[in-house]
Structure 1
Amino acid sequence: MKDLGQFRYFLGIKVARSKQGISLLQRKYVLDLLRDTGMLGCKPASTPMDPNLKISTESGDLLSDPSQYQCLVGRLIYLTNTHPDLAFVVSVVSQFMHAPRTAHMDAVYHILRYLKSCPGLGLFYSSSKQVGLSCFNDADYAGSKINRCSTSGFYTFYGDHLISWKSKKQPVVLRSSVEAKYRAMA
């Protein structure tokens, strides 16, 4: 065994330590992703997805090479380790991995434009004492145009520290928004 000291990078995640706390960032990963896709000089977007966008399995023409879409979405899934703000939008675009279309690829490009606006965004865990556990969840009632299933998500905080998050499409069609939020809470 050999002690290599405090680690700074782990699986593409930069760990920056200071007296104030620890930051987990994937800035280099984001910049490499933008460079590989040719989006390094693109115009930044202020949100990860257009709030009025409703994509379905019939939106646009089929892509001739779905592997590029699948690779990009896979890289975005890995990026959600330090970007919880991408959890919902990545769960939406990952639903179309089997037969991606041009509208789905446009949504992925919009996510990349959002990443251009905040490549250094990450998680910060302060060294100060934290108290209390808080959980937040939400669901969009029948948000999927494909099968009317809801998508729910949750965030769990210990004090000010985000410790767990997830966005998931519900497996069944629910009868009300209250039931969708109750199922998300469960």
Structure 2
Amino acid sequence: MLECKPADTLIEMNHKLCEDMDQEPTNKEQYQRLFGRLVYLAHTRSDIAYAMSVVSQFMHSPSVSHKNAVDQILRYLKLALGKGLIFSKNRDLEVVGCTDVDWAGSVTDRRSTSSYFTFVGGNLVTWRSKKQNVVSRSNAEA
């Protein structure tokens, strides 16, 4: 991928990645190794966290479209070299939290994904996203 064309976007907007039995399978071991290497990078590159959570859902049976999504992450990283988390010294230690939920965002099982971010003094210190255990029937329930 060293000679690949860089990409401006990390993941296709309104992507429809799902588990489809009709899709052409790809090399499972290669997919898992590549994903495993990207996991370490995600600790300092919070911008790839969402895309990583999407492609992680297909570890047991990846297809060519899932491999293409991982390749898109690599092409984005090539364009965004040198970016990462920067922690700056700040006298103000205000704690700010943000949260969001997509309603029935998974094409495969219609479950919602919730996420949160926590900032201390303007620095991102924690973040998490989690797919809900049950299917939500409304935004309020999600």
Query: What TM-score do you get using the length of structure 2 for normalisation?
Result: 0.93
Structure 2 counterpart of 1:98, one-letter code: H
**Counterpart in 2 of 1:61?**
24
Look up the SS of the partner of 1:130 in the other structure: coil
Pairing 1:16-95 to 2, within 5 Å after superposition: 39-58=1-20, 60-63=23-26, 65-95=27-57
Matches within 5 A, 1:134-145: 134-145=96-107
The alignment yields a C-alpha RMSD, in angstroms, of 1.3
Structure-1-length-normalised TM-score = 0.72
**Gaps (5+ residues) in structure 2?**
none
Deviation per residue, 1:86-107 (Å, 9 max, x gap):
1111011000000000000000
Runs of 4+ in structure 1 displaced over 4 angstroms? none
Structure 1 or 2: more strand by fraction:
1
User: Structure 1: which 5+ residue stretches go unaligned?
Assistant: 1-38, 181-186
| Identity across the alignment (%) | 48
Structure of greater Rg: 1
> Residue type of the partner of 2:113?
T
How big is the shift at 1:130? Answer: 2.8
1:150 is matched with: 112
Is the contact made by 1:62 and 1:101 (CA closer than 8 Å) also made in structure 2?
yes
The CA distance in 2 between the partners of 1:156 and 1:46, in whole Å, is: 26
Count of residue pairs brought into register by the alignment: 141
> Equivalent residue for 1:114?
76
Q: State the SS of the aligned residue for 1:109.
A: helix
